[in-house]
Every structure is written in C-alpha cells, then in structure tokens.
Structure 1
Amino acid sequence: MSIRFICDSTCDYTQQQAEELGITLVPLKVLFGEEEYYDGVDIKPEAFYEKLESSEELPTTSQPSPEAFLAYFREAKETGDDVICILLASRLSGTCQSALVAKDIVEYDRIYIVDSMQATLGTQLLIERAFALQKEGKNAEQIVGALEEDKKKVCIYLIVDTLLYLQKGGRLSAAGMAVGSALNLKPVLAVRYGEVKVAGLARGQKGAWDKLFKAMEKEGGMNEAMGYNLGFTGKKECLDDFARFVKGRLGSGYKKTVAVGSVIGVHVGPGANALAVFLN
C-alpha cells in the first residue's frame, strides 16, 4: 500500500518535474476561440503568453471533467493505495468538484480531496509540505489533516504589469482600470483562502515591492522555517530585479522559481512577479 499524489495542471509543475516527484497531473483546458489546448501539455507557458499578447479576445479556461480523474481513482482502489488530490482553489475553479464527483462514482473512502485554496507556486509549497510529512512517516490521513491547517497560512503576493487582463476577465471594473492606468498604479494582489484580493496599490515597480512587504508584515510576516517560492508570467527576465529585491529582504529560504502557466496567466497577463510564502 502506498500514497498516490494527484494534482491538476495549475500547480505548474512541468511534466518532467511531476514524473520525477511521482505526481499525476490532470490538465485543465485553455481555449482561444475554437482552438483548444491542454494546459502544460499542448501549450507551454512561454508559447501561451506570446499567443495571449497577440489575441484580440481573452481566452477562456475549462476545468477537468470527473472522467479525467476516474481511471486514476479506480486503479488506486484496485491496488488498495491511498490517494491525496491537491487541487486548485474551489473558489477559482470547479476542479475540486469534478474530483469529488469521481470519488463518489468510484466509492472508495481512501481518496482524499484537498482544496488547496491556492494555485501555481502557492500550491507547490503545499505539495512539498505533503512530501515532507510523508518522509516523516505520516500516513495519508495524517498528511491531509496537517495540510488542511497549513493551507490557511499559504499566501501568494502578485504584482501585475498591466491591469488590462484583470479588467478583461471581470476581476476589475472599467472605472478601476481607468484610475489605475492614469496614475500608473501597480496593484499588489494577494491570493489566500482561495480568494484574490487587492492588498495594496503603489506607483511604479519599487513602490509595489515595498507595498508587498508591508502587506505581508501586516499578516504576520513570512514563516522563515518554511521557505518561499518565486514566480513569473511570460519571460523569465521580468523576474530578475524583483528576485534580487526579495532575496535581499528575505535572505535564506528561497526554494525555487516557477513559470506560472496558462490558466492563471489568462487573468494576470505577462510580466507579473509573484512571491508565495507560509505566513506566521
């Protein structure tokens, strides 16, 4: 008997990384009009952002169906393995619901569906926490119990390069778009408890970086023992200055840099910088 880990593609591990970690990835879809792509399979992040910038209409995304999980769940039931599914925040997608429906169809109690309340580099922090707990000898039920508490502390801070995609996707009003653009405001967004909120507004990049750290300190600051991830949308070079700033402020604890994929990228556009932490 072993533990099988299943995640959806918005955790933004590459196929190779997922294989090395022993994670099964279930992809979401991205649709540019009639063109349909499986996130991270048919379209990789850099190609997606190039297509996004040249597209007149904002692409849409689609969650996996229950059928996408069924074969994996049935196989685990046959072998008597435990399954831990760590999935995109239920407030952002119906992916968790699809997995729950599949679990009901299979009728196997040892499938655990964890609503990460996160996405991308935030989900990766939680997944790696699960592996650390497994190494400590915890069983599936104990791991899931710990994750249900730990996930409340994970937060992604995002600085977007343009308000355009938030406004196009209905995450920002036209009035907010006009004011923000006129004042050259950079919004600092926070993703926590499955919700995307504006943590602050600042003029220019440096102002946004300072605002991000003030917002984090207001929430109790980073748990240094747990480390942090950095992320970017589009070209990696857009992260260079931000990464130097963050590493200078936080010192040790850097884990990895994550290329944010297409499903999340639809809403924030290219040129965004991100920091994911466990808060105190």
Structure 2
Amino acid sequence: MTLRLEARACAWTLGIACLTAAPTPVLARSAALPGITIGLPTGWQVPTGLQMTLTSSFAERGTLPRDNQANNNLGVLLWATPWTVVGGQLRFIQTLPFNGTSPQAGPWQWGVAQPLTAAQIAWKIGDGLGVSYFLGGYWPSDTRFALQSASIAQRFAISYVRDGWNLTANLHYGTMLDDTSPSGVFYSDYMNLDLTATKRFGKWQLGAVAFGSTDLPTRRPGDRPLGQVAAGALVGYAFEKFTVQTILTRDIAQRHYGGEETRAWLRLIVPLWRPEPDQVPHRVTVRSNAAAR
C-alpha cells in the first residue's frame, strides 16, 4: 500500500549544499524522502479502489551556526485495480509534493518538488505475508531547492500483517538520469530502507519505526555522500472514515548533513472510492488492516 509518498526534496539538505562555500562538491540527493513509507504495509495487498494519502512532516536539523528547517508535504493517489499481473495485485501511484525550506533559519522558500508516477505489483505469499515490487519515475523539477534531475525509482517490500501486526521492510533504490544539477550540485544514485513494527489494539496502532538512507559511491573526486539512520515511535488511530498516524523520529547517526535531525510526521489515509463486491471481477481478497484503510 505503497504510498509512494515521496520526495526527499531534501529541502534543508539542498539548502546546506547551496550555502556551503566549500571547494569540494556537495552531494544532495534521494528523490524519496527518507522514511516516507514508515508505518505503511507496503508489501501487502489493499482493497480494490481509490485511496488518498496526505503526509506532512516538519524537520529541524541541528546545524551551525543556525538550524536548518524544512516542511515536506506529499499527496498520494493510489489506485488498487481489480486486475492481476503474474498473480499479483496491480496498482498505480501518483504523487504531488509541495515543500518548504528555511536554511540556516533564513527566509522560508516554497515550491512544488518532483512528482512521482509509478506502478506496483503486490503478491500474497502466505497467511498475512506479502511482497511487492514498485517501478516508477520522478519527473524533473524547476524548484531549485528540490532535486532537478529525473530519476528511476524501484522498491522492494515485504510485509507481515497477521493478528494486527504490521512488520514491514521497504527498500528504495534510485537511479539518477543526470549526475549534475543546473546549479552544479552533484547527484548520485541512492538507497533507502524504511522499517515498521507496529501492533493494532482495537482502533489504536502503536509501535516503532526506523529508516536509513545513503548516497551510493561515485568515482568523482571530493565526493561527500550523505547518509543517516533514524528511529522513533508511531501512534495511529482508525476513525470510521479515515486513519490518522503521528510519528516522531530522531537521527541516531548522520554523515555530511552537519547535524542530527528531529522530524515530526502527520499522515491521513482516506479511502475515496471502493466498488461494490459484485462489481469487482476476480476480486482480490485481503485481510482487514487499519493501516491499509
């Protein structure tokens, strides 16, 4: 249920890149915001229909002489089709990110970051166990504090959702189609890993989340690849018509970001349309899961 929520239109990261007057080039990348799929059973099948997910997060990174701040907002439309491909549920994803950044506590800048268009196939391979493969692309962006290069996104997820559990690992692999932005910022491929371990108690959902990200090595002299590892907690509640998740994460380790990040997340998962059972040919049967609703 891959809310291909994304865009590590790493606002403050690129703010650092623009403000660092170092003689060596600075890498600033990852089209997918690290951690964007934590809390979601991305390897599991979801009910046929159209779903909207809205994820907003506010981050503050302890850099010197002043903190960098960013606000990332991502709208995602997920269409879970009634069709199967090689035995798996076919679904389509379209995202629209709108982000803001305040590097070094300066004036806020706002803009539309890179939209993502993707398709995904999810297979049920056991009782409560599923895997998925995601293939898509990020469109180029003219917003200077966002990534400006188009890229290919692949994701490989596995989820266990039996008895109210959501145990999910979602691996992101990004391939940049250009290695340098118009402003001279170097890009490289990247890899992110989002991890979720939550349990439902009635309408409540509680648990732990973690994520890591890294730029992949290049042979360019002076490379300064970015990386981070963060962990935190999730609290969710399933209302009658929608589900809310709140998350707080904090960096455990970071590389070349200039300081640790604290990020607060708010997510709404809203089903927009579901067909009647007799309207769904070869309907996919899924286990009820509040996080997927």
TM-score range, shorter chain: under 0.3
TM-score by length of 1: 0.27
Query: Structure 2 length normalisation: TM-score?
Result: 0.26
